[in-house]
Amino acid sequence: MVNDSIIAGPELDNNSAMKVLKGKKGSLVKVGVFRRSEKELIHFEITRDVIPTFSVDIAFMPNETTGYIKVSKFSATTFTEFKKAVNNLLENGMKNLVLDLRGNTGGYLQEAIDLADEFMEKGNIIVYTKGRNQPKEVFYSTAKGKLEENKLIILIDENSASASEILAGAIQDNDRGLIVGRRSFGKGLVQRQLDFLDGSALRLTVARYYTPTGRCIQKPYDNETGFDGYYTESYHRYFNGEMTDQDSTHFNDSLKFVTPGGKVVYGGGGIMPDIFVPIEKDERLGFYNKLFQKGLMYRFAFKYTDDNRKSLQKYNSFSEFNEGFNIDPYILKKFLKYSVENDVETDKEGLAYAKGKIETLIKAYISRNLFDDKGFYPVILPSDSVFIKALQLFENPV
């Protein structure tokens, strides 16, 4: 309920709810919230304000010398957020940095360039653009960066795109750090918007982005692949085995490029990692995958948090929660009952194989409900194969 208006129910959509919630900055809105753990609505009076959108989800030290920063997108404030996070990590003794760009679909180009600049000495090419009727424009690193001396590993996957690929390509082509994970999406077009008098607009592609060695970031799109082929290309990677087996990826000699340090890198669309880490593909994960695809761990964690909010209040901080809370047999039994109620029967063999993964993800989601992303990543990362590989590479460089 917002003021005197009911905004829940099958006939009300999110847009209708948002119209009631939004208002002039500084004005008050009364909100009634229903929780399963409470018998009556809980009432709040909220002062309306501009809500900032953050792009650095978390920055923390997984060990004494390594920092981890998760950048989910490149917004107008990303570089400012990044600098603040880096300063805190350096004060805590950071020597190595894991920069996680997995799932980052891009955003502001300048923010990605500014981040790359922090890792490089002056005068290195970060990215350049080139088009049929557009002059070549080159972006260089400028003054001394704060992180020039720190070891760097960037994590990417098939959903890392655009500005993420520009940053990863700049680091890779300048031999500044390692790229770990799987080939990125391959989105690197420069577009110009043409506005028309009727209010409509046309976005015209005028150039493409290239990494310092000359690799085109944009994956091919032509008459052979077609519209559907372009947008389903990532699915074809999975079924062709590229995401599970590095040997499934083949390149023509024309797609080979060499960095100043002598490392061979490959074009053809997207950024190929220096160190490939496959996705898990195991028939024994069938039960886990069903649960995950239906969002049952997420939904159960939300319900559990709501039903047990009072008892969970004893954890005053994430560290207390992480040390004191575990998914015990009673909670797991409740989850399995919940999954059956949602049409996923328990597979005993699949449960035995994936029990640890299921319990970890439920705990991570509960932790996120209590402590936001600061409670999610420290729980989930210790079992993340790509992150584990990054830590190993700091200890034993290739």
Q: In this predicted model, what pLDDT tens digit does every residue of 158-194 receive, in sequence order? A: 999 999 999 999 999 999 999 999 999 999 999 889 9
Out of 8-17, 231-240, 361-370, give the one with best mean pLDDT: 361-370
Q: What residues have CB less than 8 Å from 224, skipping those under 6 apart?
A: none
What are the start-end ranges of the E strands in the chain? 28-33, 42-47, 56-60, 66-71, 96-100, 125-131, 134-140, 151-156, 178-181, 189-195, 201-210, 256-258, 264-266, 275-276
Whether residue 230 has pLDDT greater than 80: no
Pick from 6-15, 144-153, 324-333: least confident: 6-15
Residue-wise pLDDT for 251-279, tens only, equals: 788 899 999 999 999 999 999 999 999 99
Please tell me the total number of residues recorded for the chain in this structure: 398
- Contact criterion met (CB below 8 Å) for 89 and 95: no
Which pLDDT belongs to residue 344?
97
Which pLDDT belongs to residue 236?
83
Residue-wise pLDDT for 41-95, tens only, equals: 888 888 888 888 899 999 999 999 999 999 999 999 999 999 999 999 999 999 9
Whether residue 8 has pLDDT greater than 80: no
- Contact criterion met (CB below 8 Å) for 302 and 312: no
Which pLDDT belongs to residue 36?
66
Pick from 121-125, 228-232, 362-366: least confident: 228-232
Mean pLDDT of 3-30: 73
Residue-wise pLDDT for 297-352, tens only, equals: 999 999 999 999 999 999 999 999 999 999 999 999 999 999 999 999 999 999 99
pLDDT band at 34; cut points 50, 70, 90: confident
Place of tokens 């002059």: 135
Give the dihedral sign, CA 222/223/224/230.
Answer: positive
Q: Of all residues in the chain, what percent carry a pLDDT higher than 70? A: 94
Whether residue 3 has pLDDT greater than 70: no
Domain edges within the chain: 1-51, 56-276, 283-386
Mean pLDDT of 225-242: 79
The CATH code belonging to domain 56-276 is 3.90.226.10
What's the pTM value of the predicted model, to 2 decimals? 0.89
Which pLDDT belongs to residue 1?
47
Question: How many Cβ atoms from other residues are within 10 Å of residue 115's Cβ?
Answer: 27
Whether residue 227 has pLDDT greater than 60: yes
Q: What residues have CB less than 8 Å from 12, skipping those under 6 apart?
A: 6
Burial tier of 135 (Cβ tally within 10 Å: 0-12, 13-18, 19+): exposed
Catalytic choice (173, 184, 339, 363): 173
Q: How far apart are CA 86 and CA 51, in angstroms?
A: 23
Catalytic choice (151, 187, 219, 363): 187
Does residue 173 have an active-site annotation? yes
Token output for 56: 């650095």
Mean pLDDT of 21-34: 84
232 or 303: which leads in pLDDT: 303
Q: What residues have CB less than 8 Å from 364, skipping those under 6 apart?
A: 375, 376, 379, 380
pLDDT band at 225; cut points 50, 70, 90: low
- Could you give the maximum distance between any two Cα atoms of the chain, in Å? 68
Out of 29-33, 134-138, 176-180, give the one with best mean pLDDT: 176-180
Mean pLDDT, the chain, as a whole number?
92
Does residue 162 have an active-site annotation? yes
Closest by Cα among 215, 219, 255 to 234: 219
Catalytic choice (162, 164, 184, 367): 162
Which pLDDT belongs to residue 151?
98
Q: What residues have CB less than 8 Å from 78, skipping those under 6 apart?
A: 55, 56, 71, 107, 108, 111, 115
Q: What residues have CB less than 8 Å from 237, skipping those under 6 apart?
A: 158, 183, 243
Mean pLDDT of 212-216: 97
46 or 5: which leads in pLDDT: 46
247 or 283: which leads in pLDDT: 283
Burial tier of 254 (Cβ tally within 10 Å: 0-12, 13-18, 19+): exposed
Q: CB under 8 Å, gap of 24 or more: what pairs does 260-263 form?
A: 260/174, 260/175, 261/175, 263/175
Which pLDDT belongs to residue 2?
55
pLDDT band at 226; cut points 50, 70, 90: low
